[in-house]
């Protein structure tokens, strides 16, 4: 008798997820049901598979949604994060296990005791970041501890970028994930982390000017800026006593300094709307944020405002985005500056059909063993195949699919609302990911943390 894997949402990150389930469908006796508001968006090769059914569903159709969950063996939600709670409540009511790639919301966390009492697994944060970052970090942290080491430092960075052969614009960047998340990154409060035992805070207006450089063998130099809350996983990882705890986002060198121009201008603000946004030209949008002048051009005003010369590489980056074009129009009504900027950037930063993306992840582990301070650096690089089977889709979707099958086969014994930090979860998934060339290279390097015997403070 076949078992039903129900997947809500068939967006950009699901290509490998759906492929993986269908590859296993015969040997595992699986029936895949895909529920999406736009079923025509599903790849015809997937939709026509004999073990797959695609159904049209608006997630707010309560009766239809509940029936689908009631008939499922395991449920995967790839919907926007705010919609997971609807699926989660139904899964709890109908005693179904649930898998998502999203951060655990407060609403889903509140279900934890009921999920445990029902003997269910609600696995969250099992994509890339969060997901592979948790699993790969805990694998090394647990190994250090199992060998008697004490953790002193943990830093983790992730970037979704363009593959080197398609890195063709001055920004060294194109969207490989939700563009909105890129445009509003870092907002909502100061970035906070711990460095050598001291709490540090970076306000949003300074975030993109405080970067750290990272070297990845064969791929060169990257920069990283701080995530908003690096301390979120201190307890989960058991790093309450670590002297340094820092998480960040990776970009190619120079991106952050250039992005700071948008921050300074106010273009990333999402807190208000531009009343006459619809039909506004790119040039008019830029002029919104500059002082009035009866004589100076928009270009000249912007260079004066940002204090950049005409031969500055940042000026070339602005020109490349067609920001001063008066013929290109923004079709969005009542849009915020951030939403308008996103539209302009998508015009230039969308992957072409033949272009590949790249995922880079970098961890640093500082620890003490037998009185000696040591450090391990580990990095992972994954390249996509094309603009549909991306490295982002691979690293998000495969862990989700693998976790769902582990749960379905009773391999995960720990119940409740959780993230993948237990050995029973990360060991089999990381091992299986290696067959897809998703793995880390480890290097022993000199410990770079603070030494109180040699450094004055």
**Shared domain check, 379 and 255:** yes
Same domain, 363 and 249: yes
Phi and psi at residue 324, to the nearest 5°: -105, 15
Assess if residue 176 is contained within a domain: yes
**Cβ neighbours of residue 426 under 8 Å, at least 6 residues apart?**
134, 135, 136, 138, 139, 420
110 belongs to a structural domain? yes
CATH number reported for the structural domain that contains residue 54 in this entry:
3.40.50.720
pLDDT of residue 457: 32
251 with 362, same domain: the answer is yes
**Average pLDDT of the chain, as a whole number:** 93
Return the pLDDT at 177. 79
Whether 58 is covered by a domain: the verdict is: yes
Asked if pLDDT for residue 296 goes beyond 60, the answer is: yes
Give percent helix, percent strand, percent coil of the chain, each to the nearest 5. Answer: 35, 25, 40
Q: What are phi and psi of 433, to 5 degrees?
A: -65, -30
The model's pLDDT over 176-207, given as tens digits with 9 standing for 90+, comes to: 878 998 999 988 889 999 999 999 999 999 99
| Residue 12 binned pLDDT confidence (cut-offs 50, 70, 90) | confident
Question: Does 62 fall in a domain?
Answer: yes
Instruction: Extract the tokens encoding 13.
Output: 């990150």
Question: What is residue 57's DSSP assignment?
Answer: -
Please answer whether residues 72 and 97 qualify as being in contact, where contact means their C-beta atoms are separated by less than 8 angstroms.
no
The three state secondary structure string of 406-436 is HHHCCCCCCCEEECCCCHHHHHHHHHHHHCC
pLDDT confidence of residue 456 = 34
Whether residues 96 and 23 share a domain: the answer is yes
Residue corresponding to tokens 């009766």:
63
pLDDT at 260: 97
Lowest mean pLDDT among 37-41, 394-398, 400-404: 37-41
Are 120 and 138 within one domain? Answer: no
Say yes or no: 313 and 373 in one domain: no
Residues 170-176: what's their mean pLDDT? Answer: 93
- State the total domains in the chain: 3
Q: Say whether both 222 and 98 belong to one domain.
A: no
Q: Which residue has the higher pLDDT, 187 or 12?
A: 187
Whether 192 and 203 have beta carbons less than 8 Å apart is answered as no
Read off the DSSP letter of residue 128.
B
pLDDT of residue 451: 46
Range of the structural domain that residue 327 is part of: 273-335
Task: Tell me, yes or no, whether 299 lies in a domain.
Answer: yes
Q: How confident is the model at residue 228 (pLDDT cuts 50, 70, 90)?
A: confident
In a domain, 344, yes or no: no
Indicate whether 80 and 198 sit together in one domain. no
Q: Please tell me whether residues 38 and 111 are part of one structural domain.
A: yes
Within its chain, how far is the Cα of 342 from the centroid?
A: 17
Residue 336 has pLDDT above 90, yes or no: yes
């Amino acid at each position: 008798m076949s078992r039903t894997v129900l997947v809500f949402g068939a967006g950009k990150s699901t290509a490998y997820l759906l492929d993986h389930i269908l590859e296993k469908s015969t040997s595992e006796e699986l029936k895949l049901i895909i529920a999406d508001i736009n079923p025509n968006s599903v790849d015809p090769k997937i939709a026509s598979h004999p073990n797959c059914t695609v159904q049209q569903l608006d997630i707010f159709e309560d009766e239809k949604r509940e029936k689908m969950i009631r008939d499922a063996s395991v449920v995967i939600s790839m919907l926007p994060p705010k919609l997971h709670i609807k699926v989660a409540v139904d899964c709890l009511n109908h005693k179904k296990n649930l898998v998502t790639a999203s951060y655990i919301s407060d609403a889903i966390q509140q279900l934890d005791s009921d999920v445990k009492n029902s003997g269910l697994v609600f696995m969250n944060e099992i994509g890339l970041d969060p997901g592979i970052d948790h699993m790969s970090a805990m694998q090394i942290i647990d190994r250090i501890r199992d060998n008697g080491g004490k953790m002193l430092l943990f830093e983790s960075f992730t970037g979704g970028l363009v593959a080197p052969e398609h890195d063709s614009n001055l920004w060294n960047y194109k969207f490989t994930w939700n563009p909105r998340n890129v445009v509003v990154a870092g907002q909502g409060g100061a970035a906070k982390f711990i460095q050598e035992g001291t709490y540090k805070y970076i306000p949003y207006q300074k975030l993109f000017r405080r970067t750290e450089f990272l070297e990845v063998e064969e791929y060169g130099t990257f920069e990283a800026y701080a995530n908003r809350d690096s301390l979120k996983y201190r307890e989960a990882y058991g790093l309450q006593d670590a002297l340094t705890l820092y998480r960040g986002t990776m970009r190619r060198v120079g991106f952050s300094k250039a992005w700071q121009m948008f921050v300074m201008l106010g273009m990333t603000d999402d807190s208000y709307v531009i009343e006459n946004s619809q039909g506004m030209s790119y040039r008019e949008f830029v002029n919104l944020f500059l002082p009035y002048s009866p004589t100076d051009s928009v270009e000249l005003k912007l260079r004066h405002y940002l204090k950049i010369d005409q031969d500055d590489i940042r000026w070339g980056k602005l020109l490349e985005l067609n920001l001063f074009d008066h013929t290109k129009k923004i079709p969005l009504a009542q849009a915020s500056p951030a939403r308008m900027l996103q539209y302009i950037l998508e015009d230039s930063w969308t992957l072409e059909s033949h272009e590949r993306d790249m995922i880079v992840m970098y961890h640093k582990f500082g620890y003490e063993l037998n009185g000696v301070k040591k450090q391990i650096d580990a990095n992972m690089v994954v390249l996509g195949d094309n603009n549909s089977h991306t490295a982002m889709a691979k690293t998000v979707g495969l862990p989700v699919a693998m976790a769902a099958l582990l749960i379905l086969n009773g391999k995960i014994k720990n119940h409740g609302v959780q993230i993948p930090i237990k050995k029973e979860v990360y060991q089999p998934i990381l091992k299986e990911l290696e067959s897809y060339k998703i793995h880390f290279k480890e290097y022993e390097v000199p410990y770079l943390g603070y030494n109180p015997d040699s450094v004055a403070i």
